[in-house]
Amino acid sequence: MIRLDNISKQNGHQLLFVETSAALQRGEKIGLVGPNGSGKTTLFRMITSQDLPDEGQVSVDRGVTIGYFSQDVGEMAGRSAVAEVMDGAGPVSTVAAELRELEAAMADPERADEMDEIIARYGEVQARFEELDGYALEGRAREVLAGLSFSQEMMEGDVGNLSGGWKMRVALARILLMRPDVMLLDEPSNHLDLESLIWLEQFLKGYEGALLMTSHDREFMNRIVTKVLEIDAGELATYSGNYEFYEQQRALNEKQQQAQFERQQAMLAKEIKFIERFKARASHAAQVQSRVKKLEKIDRVEPPRRRQTVDFDFPPAPRSGEDVASLKNVHKSYGSRRIYEGLDFQIRRRERWCVMGVNGAGKSTLLKLVTGSVEPETGTVTIGGSVKVGYFAQHAMDLLDGEATVFEWLEAAFPLAGQGSLRALCGSFGFSGDDVEKRCRVLSGGEKARLVMARMLYDPPNFLVLDEPTNHLDMATKEMLITALSDFEGTMLFVSHDRRFLAALSNRVLELTPEGIHQYGGGYTEYVARTGHEAPGLHS
């Protein structure tokens, strides 16, 4: 359906693709992977003709429809979310628009003399609308929006009043409703809560078209894709299987390549030693010459390209008392909306609570109550003795000093720390070389999140309160964070929609539901086994 033939592409000084080829066949579900900046978005743009390769060709079969979801959603305002989503549904939305125009024309007394033609045209358009199943379209649009966690009120309201994250869901819903032959989805799992993520997973599994997508959510990727397309130093390599299989295969390939490289290096060293030893002897001239020629003809094996991996070791946190936080008879509302009525909740040392609940259940509010960012109306929140709180909030990234560089911002926080120590901290959170001189205002969402986390973890708290810490983080940084937090000796309270993060780090679950609050001993994996669903509000 889509072929990339010997494409080359340069972006500024960076070579993204060098004479490389790949194909997307009917019904395939492919995960596109590669380090940040390797050209994933450029590849999408070339397929959709928004960008052209410098050399080679991108060809799309005649008549193939493509739906492209990117992080850049553009302006949306003046229409309801439902109307916005229906507008993206391909030919049927054009027919629906003409139907509305004709209905207005039939009600316009000034066009009475054209009425016969208008009515005739209306009949044709209405037949076409029925043929395209247009009357079911609104129902399907609402179904998709509900799957992405929109309430009826949000569906009807002006899309211009929604936050950026919700506008992205509207843009995603447009593509899903369109059901094109090919979907290109660039990070569709960003900005989604767990319920929406699981709904989208099911939707994409049932989708019969071809799919090419990127995602930083390992579990999501693993469950959907059956093939992985990797961009590695300008080349496209295909692996059959899911993401986990790709990782294993890649590691195996690297190991084999390293062994091959070492064998060849040993052989070359032996040959060079012979040449050096005998090149001055006339009696060995023919042998030396033949070995020199042999060396010139050998295809050199390259060592495997090492992916830059980041590691972070926590300095040990001071030990807290056994009682870390206690909420007693806590009441909290926002206007007429009751969030908590008489909440009792106790957190003890080394417990790792993950908080589960649908949108609006009060997950972030609980974290704010515990950290003192908001006060309860009645009841008490008590933090235990020797407890030092580290709070990573969604708004924390807005508090960065835009004019300061990465290094200056960390230096201001830790004036007594040595330069070497701070540079090592920057490096372990993905800021190497000149990156430390970037001003905070130009950082991406992921870079800001990493910087805030670096500052929080350098002088480690013994009670970590984390609100969606993995938003904006790529897979490598998430893995680094999971590894680091696995060794953390303190206590944790966190909200996350990343199932790998939840399963790896929780040992307690607090579930907030309209029917009440439930506490589960054992982590997220045990919670799923016991309840039979991966998130509250979803039942399998």
Phi, psi of 133 (to 5 degrees): 60, 35
Hey, what are 83's tokens? 């109307």
Predicted confidence (pLDDT) per residue in 417-472, tens digit: 889 889 988 888 888 888 999 999 998 888 888 899 889 888 889 999 999 998 88
Cβ 463 vs Cβ 385: under 8 Å: no
Cβ 470 vs Cβ 481: under 8 Å: yes
pLDDT at 332: 94
Interior angle at CA 36, CA 485 and CA 34, nearest 5: 95
CA–CA distance, 485 with 489 (Å, rounded to integer): 8
**Dihedral angle at the C-alpha atoms of 149, 336, 346, 396, nearest 10 degrees?**
60
pLDDT at 522: 93
Instruction: Please state the pTM of the whole predicted model.
Output: 0.83
Hey, what are 237's tokens? 């390599």
Residue reference for tokens 């939305």: 93
pLDDT at 223: 95
CA–CA distance, 59 with 23 (Å, rounded to integer): 10
Task: Give the relative orientation of helices 243-278 and 285-297 as an angle to the nearest 10 degrees.
Answer: 160
Pairing of strands 66-69, 2-11: unpaired
Regions of the chain where pLDDT drops below 50: 540
Other C-beta atoms lying within 10 Å of the C-beta of residue 148: 25
Other C-beta atoms lying within 10 Å of the C-beta of residue 12: 6
**Contacts for 264 with CB less than 8 Å, ≥ 6 apart:** 298, 300, 301
Task: Give the relative orientation of helices 445-458 and 475-486 as an angle to the nearest 10 degrees.
Answer: 20
Hey, what are 436's tokens? 């430390």
Provide the residue type at 428 as one letter. Answer: S
SS3 per-residue string spanning 271-301: HHHHHHHHCCCHHHHHHHHHHHHHHHHCCCC
CA–CA distance, 401 with 462 (Å, rounded to integer): 26
Other C-beta atoms lying within 10 Å of the C-beta of residue 177: 23
pLDDT at 540: 44
Containing 227, the helix (H) or strand (E) segment is: strand 227-232
Q: Which residues pair with 466 in a beta bridge?
A: 392, 494
